[in-house]
Structure 1
């Protein structure tokens, strides 16, 4: 896992080999900010953020909203980063925007199902998310 020098002309989401901790550490250095400031700006606890950056805790289960918050905070500080780059560095596709009408429809369907149906819907959604993450 190499971080290498950042080349803004590089095609693709992040320089080759740059995972989420490497991306965040590079952008923090570029913006002159520290982990505490990033934690405060995103609402992510310092200990969680520090665990991700020091690789003492895995990053595969980071909530999508936390990834978006990281990108937004860094953008506010002048970093040249997009949510797509943050998600890609985390090895995940960028989720589409939430549309209230679709969310409401899905919640209505979920609530109309018996418990077994709710569990099946959740299981199906998780499988779909996994398939989409693999680019299938």
Structure 2
């Protein structure tokens, strides 16, 4: 899985049963890199990174920015990994799309419809609001 052709926007699942230390160690081996290189590349303290890899420190509280830095560095070396896989492997809940993204998507759909479809979408949304509450 060491291809530079990976689309970082395509978020695939973490291999079954692979926690963050296992994922990182596998990707380091695949890219021929070492822990110290990864620490230097990401700016993450080597002893902290090493404690994650040796499982002497838990990974569920790693900052999201650090997980993204790890994924970016490994991808830069040709690894097939996404930030989402890093988050999943760390045992943290994967964040869903932001409110703005959902609103943009809905607006894009609305704008792509003919007037009759726009009216139907509004009617459907009003029905949903009535059955699901105001959401506030």
Return the TM-score normalized by structure 2: 0.60
Q: Which has the higher contact order (CA 8 A, sep 6+)?
A: 2
CA contact (8 A) 1:84 1:93 kept: no
Matching of residues 1-136 of structure 1 within 5 Å: 13-95=13-95
Please give the alpha-carbon distance, in whole angstroms, between the structure 1 residues aligned to 2:46 and 2:77.
Answer: 18
CA offsets per residue over residues 18-39 of structure 1, 9 Å max, x none? Answer: 0000000000000000000000
CA contact (8 A) 2:27 2:74 kept: yes
Query: What's the RMSD between the two structures over aligned residues?
Result: 2.0
Equivalenced residue count is 89
Q: Which runs of 5 or more residues in structure 1 are unaligned?
A: 1-5, 7-11, 99-136
Q: Which runs of 5 or more residues in structure 2 are unaligned?
A: 2-11, 99-136
Change (3 A) 1:89 1:34: same
Return the TM-score normalized by structure 1: 0.60
Larger radius of gyration: 2
Please give the alpha-carbon distance, in whole angstroms, between the structure 1 residues aligned to 2:68 and 2:97.
Answer: 11
